[in-house]
Amino acid sequence: MPQFVLPNNASFHTARHFLEINKPFEEDSKDAILVFRHRWAHVEPMALSMASAWGAWCRRHGKPVVVENLDRRAAYSARMRLFQHLGVDYDPGLTEHEEAGRFLPVSQVITRGQVSGVIGDISALLHLEDDPESLAAVQYCVSELLRNVLEHSGSLDGAFVCAHRYTGEPTPRVTIAVADCGRGIASHLGRVHPEASSDDMVALGLAMRPGITGALRGPYGTSENAGAGLFITRCIAKGTGGYFLLISGGAAYRLRRARSDEDQITLYVDPFDEDRHDRWSLSSPWQGTVVAVEIRTDQIADYHGFFQWIFKNVPSRASRSRRIHFT
């Protein structure tokens, strides 16, 4: 039966294990089960956005979601509004904490107007008014990832987005995740790039390169950096020393954090050229796409300079450049 497991630790670091233990789209039952592990639980936006998108998919297919091991360990998930998207009534019995300054709860986005609403909420909910450089980078990533879903996924339930701001040392950061249960990257790109239609890993590699998916919108959008959204998001993650994760169909790609002793960070046009990354096949494919990005907020001192440098170095479709140095 469709089953989604939230383990003790669901994070970038444990993503491979987290994906391996889940079989969310099996079709042999009318029921769907969400399982919390015993003891404590550390659940990051990646897992929450995926569980929410999966819950909406289950409900649309007539599969009510049943939750196992539901107790106070699920209080954080409740505050992140996971159970609203699952259609499950749950009251953790705890005093509700103020959201501002910590997280953007899981939000379902179906229309462009809702994208604007989420972007507007980010500043207050993540309490980034005092850090406009980081705020601008976070808003860009959220806007671009949501736009990708609305324009390319064909998801009837739209996108599910959430974020959390971690303020502790040594890595103050914001983690963002967007998930959908739409057509997936291979299906979308396969219409123009036949080599992607039958190979999810090839599709992921193409999607993270500039000049593949279409024209980039916004103040920096030109024919020279068309289709650079995921590429730019990956650059932001690596440029600040954070993780980047992309999942679609039967394939997953994870850019690791930069080493603390690196004097110069190299940005690669081809994500598979990265020296610090993992890619693997999923035993149970994800029907749709998931993107998660970690932004080190202590590493962005000049947002516009940071972005202008990246966009200046995004190659055109005809470029043969394979790497860009970030100093």
9 — pLDDT class (breaks 50, 70, 90): very high
For residues 206 and 102, what is the distance between their CA atoms, to the nearest angstrom? 34
**Cβ atoms 129, 300 nearer than 8 A:** no
Q: Who wins on pLDDT, 264 or 297?
A: 297
Q: Who wins on pLDDT, 97 or 312?
A: 312
Residue 263 has a pLDDT of 62
Residue 216 has a pLDDT of 40
Most confident listed range (37-51, 92-106, 205-219, 307-321): 37-51
Residue 313 has pLDDT above 60, yes or no: no
Residue 210 has pLDDT above 90, yes or no: no
Q: Who wins on pLDDT, 308 or 44?
A: 44
- Which residues face 36 on adjacent strands? 6
pLDDT, average across residues 171-185: 95
**Which of 11-25, 30-44, 217-231, 255-269 comes out lowest in average pLDDT?**
217-231
Using DSSP's 3-state secondary structure scheme, residue 318 falls into coil
Rg (CA), the chain: 19
**Which of 27-31, 161-165, 287-291 comes out lowest in average pLDDT?**
27-31
- How much is the pTM? 0.89
For residues 103 and 73, what is the distance between their CA atoms, to the nearest angstrom? 18
95 — pLDDT class (breaks 50, 70, 90): low
CA 103, distance to chain mean position in Å, is 15
Pick from 224, 173, 213, 167: nearest CA to 191: 213
Torsion 107-22-147-110 (CA) sign = negative
Say how many Å lie between the first and final Cα of the chain, rounded.
50
pLDDT digits (tens, 9 = 90+) for 214-259: 544 444 333 333 457 899 999 999 989 999 999 999 999 999 998 7
What is the secondary structure of 163-211 as a DSSP string?
Answer: EEEE--SS--EEEEEEEE-SS-HHHHHTTT-HHHHT-HHHHHHHHTSTT
| Maximum separation of any 2 CA atoms in the chain, in Å | 59
For residues 279 and 289, what is the distance between their CA atoms, to the nearest angstrom? 15
Q: Who wins on pLDDT, 136 or 215?
A: 136
305 — pLDDT class (breaks 50, 70, 90): confident
For residues 109 and 6, what is the distance between their CA atoms, to the nearest angstrom? 23
Query: Nearest-5° angle of CA 6, CA 244, CA 246?
Result: 70
Residue 96 has a pLDDT of 54
Report cis status (omega within 30 of 0) of the bond before 92.
Answer: no
Q: Determine what percent of the chain falls in helix, strand and coil, rounding each to the nearest 5.
A: 35, 25, 40
Q: Who wins on pLDDT, 2 or 112?
A: 112
Pick from 229, 276, 277: nearest CA to 252: 277
Identity of residue 94: L
pLDDT, average across residues 126-145: 90
For the record, the structure tokens of 288 come out as 């749709």
CA atoms within 13 A on the CB side of 29: 13
pLDDT, average across residues 126-149: 91
In the chain, at which residue ranges do the beta strands (DSSP E only) sit? 3-6, 9-10, 32-36, 42-43, 65-68, 103-109, 159-166, 173-180, 244-255, 265-268, 277-296, 323-326
